[in-house]
Each structure stands twice: as C-alpha cells, then as structure tokens.
Amino acid sequence: MLEDMLRNDLLQEAYRRGSEYLLRWSACAPTTFAAIMDTLGYADDPVAQEIWKSTIGLTGGTGNLTVGTCGAVASAAAAISLSFGYNKEDVEDLKKMMTVNAAVANIGQQVKEVFGGIRCEEIQFNNWGKAFELTNREALGEFMDMASNERGKPRCQDVTAAIARMAVEKIMELNPQFVKR
C-alpha cells in the first residue's frame, strides 16, 4: 500500500513539476529533464545538473528546427538512458543497448498515442492544428504569444508534464534502484 502511495505521489509530482517548470524556462527539453530528475531525487546531483545544460539545444525539435524529435521526448530518453547506469563498455553489448532503446521506444509510442507523434511539428499540429517553424522569428513570436495565453499554455504544459510522468513511471518500473526518494 505504501509503495503504491509513493508511486502515485511521484507520478503526480512529475506531472506537477513538468507543468510548473515550463512556466519558469519556456523550453520543453530542460523542463522535462529537470522534472524527471528532481522528482526522482536528483535535484542537487552534479551529473544531472550538467546533463540538464545539454538539453537546452534539444528544445523545439532540436535547436528550434521544429522537424526533429520533441525536446520533451528527447529529454525523457536521456533520463531513461541515464537510469540504466551503463558505461561505454555496457553499450558495446547490443542486448543492453537494445534494452534502453526498447524502454525509450515505449515512451515514444505512448507520446504518439497521446499527442499524435514524437516530432515537435506533429505535437504542435495535434495541439493547435498548425506547426510553427521556430527558427523563423515571426513564427517563433506567434508561437510564444500563443503558448503564453490561455489557449496555448495549458497544452504546452500538458506535453512536458505528461512526458515527465511517463518517463518517471518507466524508470520506476525498470530501474527502481535509480529512485533516490
């Protein structure tokens, strides 16, 4: 019973952090990574803080190109990969690498089902009926205006929040020893 309560509390916390952090950073990738890692007890972990820095360029479908994988999905993949604790030699073992990839693919499939795809443009189109080329200054401005109002903000927050929750759930399922809380 206590284990189920802790699991549910952590899933709710991941969703809450994924929603709240987006308001702070306005960037899907670092928001999602931080929500996952902070929920699992890594808020002050120096490795997690360094990886967080590397997620910034994943925002907006990689460098705001829009056509790449959603930054929230990419950051979830990074957190899930980290949870396995593999080193370079482990990844040379194809079976171990495929285990990580299967876990990430499972999250990708969930995201497809909920948000219509895993690419930034697919998720945008699913949410707003159009995609914004975020490297275009005008389109970025339009997206930021839309994402900051009541029409867009909750949908943006739901993406980062839901994906953070999915990743935390997958990590708890496959690598419960990674959870520090």
Query: What's the CA angle centered on 30, arms 100 and 62, to 5 degrees?
Result: 75
Could you tell me the mean pLDDT of each successive run of 10 residues in the chain, 181 residues long? Answer: 82 98 94 98 97 97 95 98 93 91 98 98 94 92 85 88 98 96 83
Predicted confidence at residue 2, as pLDDT, reads 52
Predicted confidence at residue 91, as pLDDT, reads 83
SS (H, E, C) 74-108: HHHHHHHHHHHCCCHHHHHCHHHHHHHHHHHHHHH
Kindly report whether the global pTM for this prediction surpasses the value 0.75.
yes
The structure tokens 């952590």 sit at 10
Contact by Cβ (8 Å): 22, 70: no
Predicted confidence at residue 1, as pLDDT, reads 52
Contact by Cβ (8 Å): 48, 136: no
pLDDT (tens digit per residue) in 65-88 = 999 999 999 999 999 999 999 998
What is the three-class DSSP state of 14? Answer: helix
Domains in the chain, number: 1
Predicted confidence at residue 75, as pLDDT, reads 98
Contacts of 92 (CB under 8 A, 6+ apart): none
Q: Which domain holds residue 171?
A: 2-178
Predicted confidence at residue 150, as pLDDT, reads 76
Residue 170's alpha-carbon distances to 30, 94, 120, 175, in angstroms, are: 19, 21, 22, 8
Predicted confidence at residue 4, as pLDDT, reads 84
